[in-house]
Amino acid sequence: MKILVCIKQVPGTTSVEIDPETGVLKRDGVESKMNPFDLYAVEQALILQEKYGGNVDVITMGPAQAKAVLEEAIYMGADRGILISDRKFAGADVVATSYTLSQGIKKAGQYDLILCGKQTTDGDTAQVGPETAEFLDMEHVTNVKEISAVEGYEVLVTENQENCFRKIRLKTPCLLTIEKDVNSPRLPSYKRKTEMKNPDIVELSLSDFEDVNEENYGLLGSPTQVERIFPPEKNESRQLFEGPGRELGDRIFEILKLKKFVV
Partner 1 sequence: MKLNEEQLIYLKRLIEPARIQTGKEIGEDYSHDELGGITAYPDVLIKVISTEEVSKIMTYAYKQDIPVVVRGAGTGLVGAAVAVCGGIMIETTLMNHVLELDEENLTVTVEPGVLLMELAQFAEEHSFLYPPDPGEKSATIGGNISTNAGGMRAVKYGVTRDYVRGLTVVLPNGKVEKFGGKIVKNSSGYSLKDLIVGSEGTLGIITEAILKLVPLPNKSVSLLVPYEKIEDAIETVPKIIKLKTTPTAIEFMERNVLLFAEEFLGRKFPDTKSEAYLLLTFDGSSSVQVESEYETVAQYCLEHGARDVFIVDTPERRDAVWSARGAFLEAIKASTTEMDECDVVVPRNCVAEFILFTHSLSKKFNIRIPSFGHAGDGNLHIYICRDRLAEQEWKCTLSEVFAEMYEKALKLGGAVSGEHGVGYAKKKYLRKQVGDEQIRLMREIKRVFDPKGLLNPQKVI
User: Of 81-89, 102-110, 184-192, 223-231, which part binds partner 1 (CB under 8 A)?
Assistant: 184-192
Nearer Cβ to partner 1, position 163 or 184? Answer: 184
Stretch that binds partner 1, among 124-132, 144-152, 191-199, 255-263 (CB under 8 A): 191-199
φ/ψ (deg, to 5) at 104: -65, -40
Q: Which residues, numbered 12-41, are part of the site for partner 1 (CB under 8 A)?
A: 12-13, 31, 33-34, 36, 39
Q: Which SS3 state, helix, strand or coil, does residue 71 take?
A: helix
DSSP 16: -
Task: Please state, as a whole number, how many other Cβ atoms lie within 10 Å of the Cβ of residue 136.
Answer: 20
State the number of binding residues for partner 1 (CB under 8 A).
Answer: 21
Piece in contact with partner 1 (CB under 8 A), picked from 58-66, 87-95, 147-155, 176-184: 176-184
Span from 16-24, 145-153, 185-193, 198-206 in contact with partner 1 (CB under 8 A): 185-193
- Among 15, 194, 225, 239, the residue binding partner 1 under the rule CB under 8 A is 194
**Angstrom distances, CA of residue 59 to CA of 8, 96, 227:** 8, 16, 30
Of 191, 228, 259, 260, the one binding partner 1 by CB under 8 A: 191
CB-CB contact of 150 with 134 (8 Å):
no
- State the DSSP code for 88: G
What is the amino acid identity at position 62?
Answer: G
Between vectors from CA 47 to CA 44 and to CA 48, what angle results, nearest 5°?
Answer: 90
For residues 104 to 143, the per-residue mask of contacts with partner 1, x marking binding by CB under 8 A and - elsewhere, is ----------------------------------------
Binds partner 1 by CB under 8 A, chosen from 62, 185, 199, 218: 185
**Phi-psi category of 143—alpha, beta or left, where left has phi over 0 and alpha has psi -120 to 50?**
left
**Which residues, 6+ apart, have CB-to-CB distance to 29 below 8 Å?**
none
Shortest gap between Cβ of 33 and partner 1 (angstroms)?
A: 5
Give the pairing type, strands 165-171 and 32-34: unpaired
Residues 38, 62: Cα–Cα separation, whole Å: 15
State which residue, 34 or 41, has the beta carbon closest to partner 1.
34
Binding residue (CB under 8 A) for partner 1 from 190, 237, 240, 242: 190
Report in angstroms how near the CB of residue 14 gets to partner 1 at its nearest: 8
Applying CB under 8 A, which residues contact partner 1?
Answer: 12-13, 31, 33-34, 36, 39, 75, 181, 183-194
